[in-house]
Amino acid sequence: MSRLTGNVEMAHGGGGRAMVGLIRNIFARHFANPLLAQGHDATAIAVPAGRIAVTTDAHVVSPLFFAGGDIGSLAVHGTVNDLAMAGARPLALTAAYIIEEGFPLADLDRIAASMGAAARAAGVPIATGDTKVVERGKGDGVFITTSGIGLIPDGVDIGPHRLAGGMAVLISGPIGDHGIAILSQRQGLDFGTTIQSDSAALCHMVADIVAAVPGIALLRDPTRGGLSATLNELAEAGRIGMMLDERAIPVRPEVAAACELLGLDPLHIANEGKLVCICAPQDADTLLAIMHRHPEGQGAAKIGETTAQNPGFIRMITAIGGTRVIDWLSGEQLPRIC
Amino acid sequence: MCLAIPVQVTALLAGQMATVSAGGVVKQVSLALLDDVAVGDYVLLHVGYALHKVSEEEAQRTLALMAEAGALEESLAEMRAAP
Amino acid sequence: MKYVDEFRDRARAESLGRAIAAAADPARQYNFMEFCGGHTHAIFRYGVQDLVPGNVHFVHGPGCPVCILPMRRLDDAIELAEAHGVILCSYGDMLRVPGSGRKSLLKAKADGADVRMVYSTLDALEIARAHPDREVVFLGIGFETTTPPSAVAIATARAEGLRNFSLFCNHVMTPPAIRHILEAPDIDPAQAVRLDGFLGPSHVSSVIGSRPYEFLAERYAKPVVIAGFEPLDVMQATLMLIHQVNEGRVNVENQYARVVTREGNVKAQDLVAQIFEVRDTFEWRGLGSVPESALRIRPEYAAYDAEAKFQLTEKESRENKACECPAILRGVKKPKDCKLFGKACTPESPMGACMVSSEGACAAYWTYRRMETLAEMAADRAAAKVAAA
């Protein structure tokens, strides 16, 4: 719980004393690190020689606070994970806040504290930031944009161009947690569940993955649109097909039950702390063992294989032994009664 | 049509409502369409209403028939084929 | 989940698959109509066709309440939200369906109308209680499974004096629709499809019981097996139908005995009869006018009837002329026979009834069996070229 009272005012974005106070009492306090302490318009970072990965994300999640996280930790995890999916070791993050006039300072404090904690757990400093305030009604509470830079180790070349038939497809753990956690709070759908968002930084696990198999073909984190969107994107970009085994795809019983209740398919539900790994078949066991050693990799499993035939189609052997195509949904899945 | 799932009644509430659970998910639903529902019963849930009780006995019988079906059919086929 | 996972078990599926293969007579075809959209969805989602021999065919029927809602009724719902300023509550299924001019309830919401997705009529009643100064209309769709919850909603509104709540009733009935399909050969021989039996709907039957299907056996000499919702239920019911056909029997059998009885849920039936009465006729998208196949709210409950409370403008539904839904809904044609399928008509931009819902035959083929369907269409085109040459 925050000790702060009162709300954000236009003055907090005005560049004057109020803004300096906000930054010092909230952001600098929670993000404190030597880079940030430089206190310049731009932060100087000594970067080792090599290839730099850079990424950016705008975060507009609603609700701002959810079981297992909030927009602050989500923002850190999202950007850190984007860097990790390139095989990069994250070096630094940036954070730009757009805050709506009237937003409670206590909530802002909570978000910044969460963001700072997430950054420290990931081992990535927030090196610079920006604060703006918009008039009441012109923002949804708070929007956060984060960017990140990372260092790609030598020998790492991850991307759909590496995909071919006959590779193993792995997932780092059960799917659908984040989307169900968010949905359970949504008005008109309320159901009780202990499901928490799986929002987590994957960089530590990826560092071990890339150290063990530097030639790994592909890492990607399935977020909005669920596992199905990610696999379909990869099939299209890599011009390959896939054949999955439904019984091998991990789903928590509560997530499965919530999906049954609402007529949803876990394959289309958002995740925020999972990765798909596509590798040579002989590396699959090594990689699964590495993932199992990390908290973010509990429940990691091999779920299928890539195929050279039927490029662009993700197919699956169903629980009963039939086959189906896993389609790419356009737009969010809506609960159904039929 | 008609997505309905079997859920277990865990508590009876006022106003013909009940708390039900399925796979760890908990919901408050209406019993307005059923009589004599007890805690522990399984009911079919559709759009927030319990529509019918689920019979454990019938479920077990159905499952047993399914498991035997292959062997049974094959012996019937053998009998038909036999001279 | 109990009573769910066991009915998706691989070993039992294989046992049933072997049984069906042994029972099906290779010298004949078996065409079974699975009336219910939920069965269509289960068959495709689990790939049940892959576990039955090639001479056993599932013919998809019109049991998809989203598919068969005429466009002008959806336009009416949108008008209620936009022109009459009501809080329009709807199940999720209807929100993306395009009405005339490609406008959906979701688009109306984006344009400022107060459209709210609800899971249950219970939620709509809550909204009505919370906003006594606003009119709340619930878009009632669905077959006999979904009608009782609407009946309870009206009974509750009446008991509480919740005068700002009303139902826009589009509830339809299963047995009249099945009769309509079977009468088609009398109406138009070209519409005839050879049907050897019916897979009866799961949850409709939990409410109405197995009795209402007995006329199908008696009058039309078609066997019916009421089938549960899970893929193993569908397979077991298919086996039971094959046995009936082989043995020349014409009975109503109940595979879904764990939830369906001959009498059904009498309490629910009585409540529905108290609140609703049968319309003389109702337009089903794709089927045209079907006599005595839909419900309206009785005059004594007119205060809770959106059609009585609000003046709605006359509307016409205009369908794309190339759309083959009418034939597909009767089981006479398949999605790949339609010129629009997969081109102008996809789940993202549905042209007709069969594509608007994930249970519609066209949507099911496109979403779950697109690879095989595209291959069949290519093969058909190649064969047509050879024939023409």
Domains of chain C: 1-324 (3.40.50.11740), 325-388 (no CATH)
Over 70: is that where the pLDDT of C112 sits? yes
The pLDDT value given to residue A337: 86
Chain A residues near residue B3 by CB distance under 8 angstroms: 263, 336-338
Dihedral (CA of A81, A86, A92, A97) sign: negative
Mean pLDDT per 10-residue interval, chain A, length 338 residues: 84 90 93 92 90 95 92 98 97 97 96 98 96 92 97 95 98 97 80 91 98 97 95 97 98 95 94 98 98 97 97 97 91 81
Q: What is the DSSP letter of C49?
A: G
**pLDDT, chain C, mean:** 93
Pair type for strands B5-13 and B17-22: antiparallel
Secondary structure string (H, E, C) spanning chain B = CCCCEEEEEEEEECCCEEEEEECCEEEEEECCCCCCCCCCCEEEEECCEEEEECCHHHHHHHHHHHHHHHHHHHHHHHHHHCC
Q: Could you tell me which CATH class the domain A160-325 is placed in? A: alpha beta
Confidence of residue C318 (pLDDT cuts 50, 70, 90): confident
Runs of H (alpha helix) within chain A: 17-22, 29-31, 34-37, 71-85, 105-122, 177-183, 203-212, 226-238, 253-262, 284-292
Query: C361-368 and C37-46 are packed helices; what angle lies between their axes, rounded to 10 degrees?
Result: 10
Considering only CA atoms, give the Rg of chain C: 21
Q: What is the DSSP letter of A7?
A: B
C-beta neighbour count of B26 within 10 angstroms:
18
Q: Where are the domains of chain A?
A: 10-152, 160-325
Confidence of residue C307 (pLDDT cuts 50, 70, 90): very high
Residue C344 corresponds to which amino acid?
A
The pLDDT value given to residue A308: 97
Over 80: is that where the pLDDT of B11 sits? yes
Q: What is the DSSP letter of C183?
A: H
d(CA B47, CA C12): 30
Q: What is the pTM of this model?
A: 0.94
Q: Which of C231, C2, C266 is nearest to B20 (CA)?
A: C2
d(CA A51, CA A152): 5
Q: From the list C92, C348, C370, which residue is nearest A325 (CB)?
A: C370
End-to-end CA distance of chain A: 43
Dihedral (CA of C336, C183, C356, C112) sign: positive
Domains in chain B: how many in total? 1
d(CA C103, CA C108): 7
The pLDDT value given to residue A180: 93
Over 70: is that where the pLDDT of B83 sits? no
Q: Which of C355, C348, C294, C291 is nearest to C320 (CA)?
A: C355
Tally A–C CB contacts below 8 A: 102
Residues written for chain B: 83
Q: From the list C50, C118, C358, which residue is nearest A322 (CB)?
A: C50
Instruction: Tell me the three state secondary structure of residue A41.
Output: coil
Structural domain span for residue B73: 5-81
Q: Which of A233, B62, A245 is nearest to C47 (CA)?
A: A245
Closest CA–CA distance from residue C99 to any residue of chain B (Å): 20
- Average pLDDT rounded to a whole number, residues C84-113: 92
Closest CA–CA distance from residue B83 to any residue of chain A (Å): 35
- Average pLDDT rounded to a whole number, residues C350-376: 88
On the 0-12 / 13-18 / 19+ scale of CB atoms within 10 A, C279 is middle
ipTM of the complex: 0.93
User: Are B46 and C4 within 8 A, CB to CB?
Assistant: no
The pLDDT value given to residue C189: 57
What the block records as the tokens of C327 is 């034939």
C-beta neighbour count of C69 within 10 angstroms:
27
Q: What is the largest CA-CA distance in chain B?
A: 67
C38 membership: H or E segment, kind and range: helix C37-46
Runs of H (alpha helix) within C83-138: 105-110, 121-130
Q: From the list A192, A193, A260, which residue is nearest B5 (CB)?
A: A260
Residue C226: φ, ψ to 5°? -75, 125
Over 80: is that where the pLDDT of C83 sits? yes
Phi-psi region of A273 (alpha: psi -120 to 50; beta: other; left: phi over 0): alpha
d(CA A316, CA A333): 20
Chain C residues near residue A318 by CB distance under 8 angstroms: 45-47, 231
Give the CATH number of the domain where residue B9 resides: 2.30.30.140
Interface test with A, best of B3, B17, B25 (most A CBs within 10 A): B25
pLDDT higher at C38 or C278: C278
Dihedral (CA of C96, C97, C103, C108) sign: negative
The pLDDT value given to residue C193: 67
Over 60: is that where the pLDDT of C135 sits? yes
Put simply, whether B71 touches A (Cβ < 8 Å) is no
Q: Which of A335, B4, A328, B1 is nearest to C67 (CA)?
A: B1
User: Are A261 and B46 within 8 A, CB to CB?
Assistant: no
Chain C residues near residue A253 by CB distance under 8 angstroms: 1
Which residue in A has a C-alpha nearest to residue C10's C-alpha? A320
On the 0-12 / 13-18 / 19+ scale of CB atoms within 10 A, A247 is middle
d(CA C94, CA C89): 10
User: Cis (ω within 30 of 0) for the bond into A63?
Assistant: yes
Q: From the list A257, A262, A330, which residue is nearest C348 (CB)?
A: A330
C6 contact partners, CB below 8 Å, separation of at least 6: B59, B63, C12
Q: From the list A192, A193, A338, which residue is nearest B1 (CB)?
A: A338
- Average pLDDT rounded to a whole number, residues C187-206: 82
Runs of H (alpha helix) within A44-187: 71-85, 105-122, 177-183
Chain B residues near residue C52 by CB distance under 8 angstroms: none
Residue A52: φ, ψ to 5°? -100, 135
Over 90: is that where the pLDDT of C190 sits? no
Over residues C45-80, the pLDDT tens digits come to 999 999 999 999 999 988 999 999 999 999 999 999
Instruction: Tell me the three state secondary structure of residue C168.
Output: strand
CA distances from C348 to A273, A311, C37, C109, C353 (A): 29, 22, 19, 18, 13
Instruction: Note the CATH number of domain A10-152.
Output: 3.30.1330.10
The pLDDT value given to residue C81: 96
d(CA A237, CA C288): 45
DSSP β-bridge partners for residue C33: C59, C198
| Cβ proximity of C241 and C225 under 8 Å | yes
Closest CA–CA distance from residue B70 to any residue of chain C (Å): 4
| Cβ proximity of C247 and C217 under 8 Å | no
Put simply, whether C10 touches A (Cβ < 8 Å) is yes
Closest CA–CA distance from residue B5 to any residue of chain A (Å): 7
Phi-psi region of C279 (alpha: psi -120 to 50; beta: other; left: phi over 0): beta
Over 90: is that where the pLDDT of C286 sits? no
